[in-house]
Amino acid sequence: MAMLYDTEEGREHPEPDVRAVQEVFETGADETGAEPVPEAVTRARDEIREREVGGRTIVELRGEVDMLNSPRIKERIDRLTDRPGTELVLDLRELRFIDCSGISMLCRARNRTAERDGRLTVVVDDPCVPRMLRLTRLTGAFDLHSTLDAALAA
């Protein structure tokens, strides 16, 4: 069995079985025989609230943004960024987890607003998102603020 070395923990881990992981994502079941997660439970993991303030659309994302729910969130944000000149504020302060599909969704929202002469502002008060952006060298691509008031004043 191949081993992977984790530099943060300083120890080796067995290499993951990619086929098993892919099967879980495709079927929703794993080797334990557990039932797939019901869609209602998956839907409850992510919550999207939106409102208008001073001509800007504020989208609050709560819970988690991962590969299971990011397609639904992406569709909603795509609809919001279809209009030219959209000023979108993504409020991520209530986000507990975001993976690479969530970062991809942020990049897509930024690109779509820029292509349509709009603007994207991100509110985040947890160091997780800025750290992921820094690690992927995307920090300068986003207008980040720690409070909603600061984002609205920008």
pLDDT (tens digit per residue) in 48-93: 899 999 899 999 999 988 888 889 899 999 999 999 999 999 999 9
Record the tokens describing residue 117, joined without a space.
């002469």
Give the count of alpha carbons within 13 A of 73, CB side only. Answer: 32
d(CA 46, CA 86): 23
Q: What is the pLDDT of residue 29?
A: 53
Can you list the domains of the chain with their CATH numbers?
3-36 (no CATH), 40-153 (3.30.750.24)
Residues facing residue 119 across a β-bridge = 87
Give residue for tokens 């279809």. Answer: 82
pLDDT tens string 81-140? 999 999 999 999 999 888 889 999 999 999 999 999 999 999 999 888 888 888 888 888
Record the tokens describing residue 48, joined without a space.
């999207």
Record the tokens describing residue 100, joined without a space.
């690479």
**In 57-143, alpha helices (H):** 70-80, 100-115, 128-135
